[in-house]
Structure 1
Amino acid sequence: EGSDMLREAIAQSDHALLRVRRHRLPAAATRAQFDAACAELAKAGAPIKADLDAAWAAFVQDRARYEGSIHRLGQYMSVPQPDWP
């Protein structure tokens, strides 16, 4: 799975420089932001799961697997950190 590969790639390149720059924690998405994103996607014609509660639970679980890794990769590459990646 993509998030597993990303986590492994970051783990392989995780060195002292990345650990020094970890002062800012990753931004956590809120349920309100998730719902707003789903509404925008639906408005654009994207298929959206009918049960948003189940979709939110799956999103939180999946995101927890890659959020730290993607944040560290962004810091390493000097990518500006958005409010909600």
Structure 2
Amino acid sequence: MRIPHLGIVVFFSVAALAAYGGFSLWVVLYSGDVALTGDTVGTWKSFAVAVIAFWIGSSSAGKAKHDSPSDVTVVNPPDNPVPVEGQ
């Protein structure tokens, strides 16, 4: 499976993390606003949970067996299309 525009996706992901990381440092070290500090720390905690869930899901998905009835089999490939009548 190929991700379209992988370089752009990686660039903007890194840029977003760097920007939010910089903002987070400012909030925690200089702002003095305890509510904003708590929200920022909570956001990083949620991000960590999402990363761990994604890592576990993607790791186990590659090891799963695909013998279930939900597997799709192409009966009519592009060189043998399904005949369809006009409306």
Q: Per chain length, whose mean CA-contact separation is higher, i.e. which structure has more relative contact order (CA < 8 Å, sep 6+)?
A: 1
How high is the TM-score relative to the length of structure 1?
0.28
* Bigger Rg, which one: 2
TM-score between the two structures when normalised by the length of structure 2: 0.28
